[in-house]
Structure 1
Amino acid sequence: MLGQLGYLVSESFRGWKQHRTVILPSLVTIFLCSLLLASSSLFLGGAMRVIDTEKTLYTIEAFLPGPIPDDSVAAVRSRLLHMKHVDSVEYVSADSALADFRRHFSGDMLDLVDDNPIPPFFRIKLDDRSKTPVDLIELRRSVARDGVFEEVQAPVDWVNRIAEWKFKMVFWPVTICVLLLVTLSLIICNSVRLSLLSRKLLVENMKYAGGSTFFIQFPFVLEGFAQGLFGSVSAVIVLWMVVDAVTESFPIVGSYVDGFGGILFLVVFAVSILSAYFSFHTVRGFLKIKRNEQE
């Protein structure tokens, strides 16, 4: 049994050398398709993270002209909570705002001033049902009409931009991934079919000699799996190097490609299994045709 398995494995890789004019273009195409597939999957993952981040953008910051008494804070907070679309209201004192600024940014610019330049403010978050650009603009206007606040800020431009591109950021990567998987299937089927035609006499002799279906199919399935594995791993290595260089130059990109290794593993797994399956499917169809011809 082990001797037969060794023969089948050697036969599958012998085809790489004997039929390199068929295998090489197939490998190059699988590499390019895998590279595009991994890139599209990575972009889709980043787009989903952007969409998740969008939920945190539905926040309004209403700045006060200066510190106010605690009873006034409670009164203003109560008025804001009763406004439409409001989920929660948080009061941030000037000292808390300054400490938060120092945690996220360099304090060099604050050293140029003597006092705390950051005023106290209320952070207002919208409820889940109202997280739309229209409701954000409406609530910002309602807060501004209160008359207590010196300035009311909300990331309206970013929210509008993400809402406008949300569908495209998901639709196109998914469409490209599906098209690439179909393309890979056709490439593998064509490559195996050409390999079968070039080894047609060998396959027929194996069948006439009493070779089992497994004995005939195994070299072609292993050959297809190896093509998918080699092409996808090569593509993943190239993309990994590119992403690593980009994240090193732009660290902010790192938060959007977190878990990138899992996506690359799925791409390699999908391409390899897809290659093996369609190799099996093509060989089975070929043997079925031959069986019908004999009958």
Structure 2
Amino acid sequence: MRQHRSVIFPSLVTIFLCSLLLASSLTALGAAMRLLDAEKNLYTVEAFLPDDVSMDSVKVIRERLEHRKYVDSVSFISADSALRDFRSHFSAEMLELVEGNPLPPYFRMTVKEENQNPGDLAGLVNALSSEDYFEEVQAPVEWVEKIAAWKFKMIFWPICISVLLLITLSLIICNSVRLSLLSRKLLVENMKYAGGSYFFIEFPFVLQGAIQGFLGSGFAVVLLFATIRSLTQSLPIISVYAQGVGFAFVAVVLLVTFLSGYFSFSTVRKFLKVKRSEQD
């Protein structure tokens, strides 16, 4: 490898770049899948009630909501429960300038799975907003619409890019082995004429290809892992979407190493078969 570094080094750099893009693409695909899983939680509607609503009215309204179209489940959150939930998620200093409990009671509704689409969610919000007993009705309709518009692209493009990168990696490795064979053609032919077995001749090339794949992909995933770790430390909110990247990185290293070894083996085997047929 040291003697033929002029051939191996460009290939190693290209494998590094392709592995970096491949790992990035798989990371983006994993983040998109987690985002789509979290999308189900967005199909939630909150309908706020007046502060002076009676418990009898709450029971009547709840029964109506449970029989409403698109509604899967209904839960009532009292003003005290809403305040406790607010304090568990936000600083208590935000309520220091407010006397008493400024949070109203409300109903939280989830949408049925078969109706989890932007149109049905917006229809439910509009229907509830027309009711007189609700002061305000809110739901993340805009976010749901944006995710629905980008859902196909978030899955399709990372998969396409990953497949294209795998094809590119295969071509790069094949060309690298061919160049390495051409530079050592005389040595391989002499080994063949001296009675060297296929395994004896192929093993150094397979080992070289596996080392190239391992080093190139290894450097790529280490660089990407350090970048993602730095981003998650700066923006902790994205750490949820970065979970499991370690498994994806290990898979990239193993896959690229396997492809490098396999295509090195197949290229050398084809070369030896051609030489054998020429001798015959």
User: TM over 0.5: same fold?
Assistant: yes
Residues 143-162 of structure 1: matches in 2 within 5 Å? 143-162=128-147
Corresponding residue for residue 73 of structure 1: 58
Q: Deviations over 1:108-129 (max 9, x none)?
A: 1111111111100000100110
Q: Deviations over 1:183-206 (max 9, x none)?
A: 100000000011111111111111
Match of 1:89 among 64, 74, 86: 74
Is residue 2:254 matched to residue 1:269? yes
Corresponding residue for residue 209 of structure 2: 224
> Where does structure 1 lack aligned partners over 5 or more consecutive residues?
1-15
Residue type at the aligned position of 1:156: V
Residue type at the aligned position of 2:141: V
Q: Deviations over 1:242-278 (max 9, x none)?
A: 1111111111111110111111111111111111111
Q: Distance in 1 between matches of 2:245 and 2:223?
A: 13
Q: Secondary structure at the match of 2:107?
A: strand
Residues 188-203 of structure 1: matches in 2 within 5 Å? 188-203=173-188
The two structures have a TM-score, normalised by structure 1, of 0.93
Q: Deviations over 1:116-171 (max 9, x none)?
A: 11100000100110000000011111112222100000100000000011111111
How far has the Cα of 1:241 moved from its partner?
1.2
Residue type at the aligned position of 2:272: L
Q: Distance in 2 between matches of 1:78 and 1:217?
A: 75
Corresponding residue for residue 227 of structure 2: 242
Corresponding residue for residue 113 of structure 2: 128
Q: Distance in 1 between matches of 2:170 and 2:234?
A: 36
Corresponding residue for residue 210 of structure 1: 195
Q: Secondary structure at the match of 1:88?
A: strand
Q: Secondary structure at the match of 1:117?
A: coil
Corresponding residue for residue 156 of structure 2: 171
Q: Distance in 1 between matches of 2:177 and 2:210?
A: 11
Q: Deviations over 1:31-64 (max 9, x none)?
A: 1111111111111111111111111100000000
Residue type at the aligned position of 1:47: A
Q: Secondary structure at the match of 2:103?
A: coil
Residue type at the aligned position of 1:153: Q
Residues 284-295 of structure 1: matches in 2 within 5 Å? 284-295=269-280
Residue type at the aligned position of 1:75: V
> Where does structure 2 lack aligned partners over 5 or more consecutive residues?
none
Q: Secondary structure at the match of 1:18?
A: coil
Q: Secondary structure at the match of 1:149?
A: coil
Q: Secondary structure at the match of 1:258?
A: coil
Q: Distance in 2 between matches of 1:67 and 1:185?
A: 70
Aligned residues of 1:133 and 1:160 also touching (Cα < 8 A): yes
Aligned residues of 1:64 and 1:150 also touching (Cα < 8 A): yes
- Paired positions, count: 280
Match of 1:31 among 1, 9, 16: 16
Corresponding residue for residue 20 of structure 1: 5
Q: Secondary structure at the match of 2:109?
A: strand
Aligned residues of 1:67 and 1:119 also touching (Cα < 8 A): no
How far has the Cα of 1:97 moved from its partner?
0.8
Q: Secondary structure at the match of 2:132?
A: coil
Q: Distance in 2 between matches of 1:39 and 1:96?
A: 42
Q: Distance in 2 between matches of 1:83 and 1:139?
A: 9
How far has the Cα of 1:67 moved from its partner?
4.3
Q: Distance in 2 between matches of 1:283 and 1:204?
A: 12
Residue type at the aligned position of 1:238: L
Q: Distance in 2 between matches of 1:212 and 1:108?
A: 78
Q: Secondary structure at the match of 2:96?
A: helix
Q: Secondary structure at the match of 1:108?
A: helix
Aligned residues of 1:233 and 1:268 also touching (Cα < 8 A): yes
